[in-house]
Structure 1
């Protein structure tokens, strides 16, 4: 679990993903892998199609289809290599060491699950090239990745600027407390202003929980602001973030309050669709 892995494709978010990964590498000192996955659904591996269309007079068509698939796959492979090389050059131009360039064939979710043991942070665009072509606001694979990959994920919109502040959604659940400890132990945001927001009832219990989290983060050199607000979780978070001009939103992907509903229900898709800033999900 020591590498930052950035998913690179032909979408307009690829440059932002690359720049975000560069920033994360500078902050953490972790090595970088640029990953391109050749989608099996769009470019199937060559195989024996004879059972699908028959033999005899159809042999010529079978041969032509096989050659066409092979050519498409070859071109997609070469295009992916060029994208990786361009991203690698961008990393070098930023003054970092040469990244590892990795091209894999298969399903993105399956590839990331295989790589999970070495992922310290996954950087991925909010939508890929296929989703943009289809007019989707969120990538077709992104929700599956966020639900299955048990690693921190930094989801990037089509533009990126280095964060100067962040908002951490906090519900005092064990997983939210773990998210606080993860932030405190990581160099990724050290020294940045951090707003700690709890959405719910303003009670003594909640204030005490916020105070405990605040103390832990301040001991880790964060400048912390805390607040409790009533309202619907997603809208309250967005309103607070916009009100204070905070550059990045951090949330735990599993909780035991309305935050849990937020991340495991349809509101996940809604937040990813409307957010204009990077979103860090901590598992």
Structure 2
């Protein structure tokens, strides 16, 4: 059975990730899984200090270094278990009993291996190595977004259960599929949806927007439609702020105007400026 999977680490955003994942699990009616990955680059399974023999080291020193490395890794493993247990207690208090997963390796590789079990991935905007600046994003976040073929819900440090959503729509096959996903999913049911495109107000753009609106309306959504002109990122952010929209939904990749900014530096800029959860559809 597919699950909502949340990436838990030692960052200040771990609580928000947990709360966001609990919310999504309850909305979707899917079990919750909490994942912690012990970074194999920072904590290798075993230390290899043979390269320093040429510096005149003695065998006992190598053994001592290896022992210290082993102790360090055990402490890191225990710390990861404590993180997961704290997140589990938080989830249980909110009404969800999660399963816990603790892996040693690379986060992206681990998620790729687990992808078949994932219905929705929840991850923080910043990880434990990202620093304290609000506009920084996690170093692995873009890699996760590029790798995964599941919806990804990115949460900022403060999570608030959203009551409204905006879907950035560009009439592409991916954004049309995004509409179908929202129609089929209980995640946003009952919320007003702002269906917004940034393009010239042509007959084609209006027709595509109207067709998407009708599908959402037929599924029971209250739909607000807007066609905006100008720079995509700025116009979407302005509209979101103006209408106090609490969740942004969009396709992760593509070649059209709306999704071009999810490539390279513009991805970073969009994620940096996010102050509300961002749902990326694939």
Shared topology, TM-score over 0.5?
Answer: yes
Superposed, which structure 2 residues align to 1:258-277 within 5 Å? Answer: 258-277=257-276
Contact kept? 1:174, 1:255, Cα under 8 Å: no
Contact kept? 2:16, 2:159, Cα under 8 Å: yes
What SS does the corresponding residue of 1:86 show, helix, strand or coil? Answer: helix
How far apart are 1:187 and its partner, in Å? 0.2
- In the alignment, what sits opposite 2:17? 17
Superposed, which structure 2 residues align to 1:6-155 within 5 Å? Answer: 6-50=6-50, 52-54=51-53, 57-96=57-96, 98-132=97-131, 137-155=136-154
Moved more, 40-49 or 55-64: 55-64
Provide the TM-score with structure 1 as the length reference.
0.96
How far apart are 1:260 and its partner, in Å? 3.1
Counterpart CA distance in 1 for 2:227 and 2:57 is: 73
What SS does the corresponding residue of 1:263 show, helix, strand or coil? Answer: coil
Counterpart CA distance in 1 for 2:57 and 2:142 is: 45
CA distance change for structure 1 residues 127 and 54 in 2, over 3 Å: closer, same or farther? same
- In the alignment, what sits opposite 1:174? 173
How far apart are 1:47 and its partner, in Å? 4.3
1:161-201 Cα shifts (integer Å, max 9, x gaps): 10000010000000110011011100000010000000010
Provide the TM-score with structure 2 as the length reference.
0.96
1:221-272 Cα shifts (integer Å, max 9, x gaps): 1100001000111111111100000001001012331123111231110011
Counterpart CA distance in 1 for 2:133 and 2:172 is: 38
Counterpart CA distance in 2 for 1:173 and 1:149 is: 20
How far apart are 1:134 and its partner, in Å? 8.5
Counterpart CA distance in 1 for 2:86 and 2:71 is: 23
- In the alignment, what sits opposite 1:200? 199
What SS does the corresponding residue of 2:101 show, helix, strand or coil? Answer: strand
CA distance change for structure 1 residues 81 and 214 in 2, over 3 Å: closer, same or farther? same
Counterpart CA distance in 1 for 2:134 and 2:197 is: 34
Counterpart CA distance in 1 for 2:259 and 2:270 is: 14
How far apart are 1:71 and its partner, in Å? 1.2
Counterpart CA distance in 1 for 2:60 and 2:115 is: 44
What SS does the corresponding residue of 2:137 show, helix, strand or coil? Answer: coil
How far apart are 1:48 and its partner, in Å? 4.1
Counterpart CA distance in 1 for 2:3 and 2:196 is: 30
* RMSD (Å), alpha carbons: 1.5
Counterpart CA distance in 1 for 2:236 and 2:58 is: 60
In structure 1, list runs of 5 or more residues that go unmatched: none
What SS does the corresponding residue of 2:220 show, helix, strand or coil? Answer: coil
Contact kept? 1:151, 1:282, Cα under 8 Å: yes
Counterpart CA distance in 2 for 1:142 and 1:220 is: 32
Contact kept? 2:47, 2:69, Cα under 8 Å: no
